[in-house]
Structure 1
């Protein structure tokens, strides 16, 4: 196990040396001074900082994926199916809502899906609007595609109302809007009225509206997916992933549902054969076992709700969560609390929002370890 302070110090020294060398290169101006995305990667007993599904892939599914990958390996001398047809068919069947393979697109994680959206509809002279605090990759994806990033405003309680969101669209006239629901890092879902209001406000500017539903499978009862809004809205995109509820973060498979016109547009920017035969084989095998893979979702939601309840008992203020994590405060020094938990073998996320932290809902054992450690830190 790493000595935490030593590991962080060495990492910081390495990054400083790399940054100095990097500045000597003819880097694009909008990339100078940027830091790459990444949560701390430390070897601790309880990793609850990156919203992974901490339950292992069920052996039955792991075996099926292994068999499929083994079979695919025999033909790796050939390029994979460029259109990943079987995968789009299986994803359409999973998503439902009357969608077909023509409505589905996939890439190496939902980050690449969003990057391709920006490559097709963003770029120099174009703008993307989102509403921080939200997923920290959005401005980095914008920078990487030379798209201007506009930070919208939320309420003091981090909520977003239909009127406020629509007014900001009218004022900024963006080419793309990113709406994260459930929102990361706060965990709360947007009402469909917000999505409708944003889409309507963007009609005049031909705005693409992306709803990032990476955590949708963990939503509270009664929360509706923006998939219900797709009919008649050809510029609406719903982004999803197999990293979270499916427990396949290591497989790197993200996808979206949208109009066939949009999937055609993404074909213009995707790299040739961008989904490997191995990725396709693994994802197709997994989608044959959806019920087994999603078998941990209810348990994760139960642990999430347990975290919310016990944090409230401690006098803290957790946000309502439709996701597999909990955003909570109030701390005078949130980073000190983060460090205290790390010293006790529990790594959660300091999301950089004053007085707040975020913790992934893991197994019952991991939840207990987090709650015990947090009580110790608060008592200290």
Structure 2
């Protein structure tokens, strides 16, 4: 039950559901039989990471210390501890935690007999520890320099600066993964982007608030880290990763349930786009090719019908006597083509009136 709760917590964490993940990590810890110190330590270190996301720095520090007591080789616990101390402005202690984590990481790495996924995780944690250690050293050096310049002024206690919570997004092709982080007002030299073939680390300060921003991801699939590039625009950090394989990434994170529960899917070719029927704004689709064919068929049928009628009149006129022809000509002319009478005795008695179809009116054309 404990391990299932731990897996559920990992999935909630990947989906940025930190409150839910924290509760599930707590459930995993409480239901754990405490017989496997390494697993219990792993649960506590994971809950510490979740506490950092929720800005519960004291809780994160407590869980990290407990995780280290259970397993002194838990490198991630040192990383969480240092991060918690850093955000509580205990940078001297944070630096010690990061340095100790790197020392432990070096010992563990030597004991690994072969390359494996666990090895890549150690490498990823190693890179993050180095980044945080360098950040601590830089901040402490700046603080020392400022203190020297203003030694006569009372030192003001710096308020803890919580990390910025900023959503990132990504899109992809068969060869690249492009990540966008929406932070405005940055310059490229203010952003640190580091990658290995399986990890991504981003850190900077948010100009609008002065808060630290960091992003650490174990990537879903391997990349060619030597070809990683990034750019900073007025509103985004844009990172371009080169895939080693043309696989579909359901998520950036290797721990995502979408990646864990599905086999790798090759990227398909360009989808064939079906041409829209015209007009595309119509609520009902209509096949205009069929309409055109129907109109042409009607025209053909009408033409054939008209041809039959003309041939009948021509035959009647040709086979009639002189008086019948005279009647036909007179009736058609005087009626404006609306009346045909073949009886000369009736037609000769007077003018044939125009008889337009129902609903129509006869008018003489004005020349």
TM-score by length of 1: 0.24
Query: Larger relative CO (CA 8 A, sep 6+): 1 or 2?
Result: 1
Structure whose alpha-carbon radius of gyration is higher: 2
**Structure with higher helix content:** 2
TM-score by length of 2: 0.25
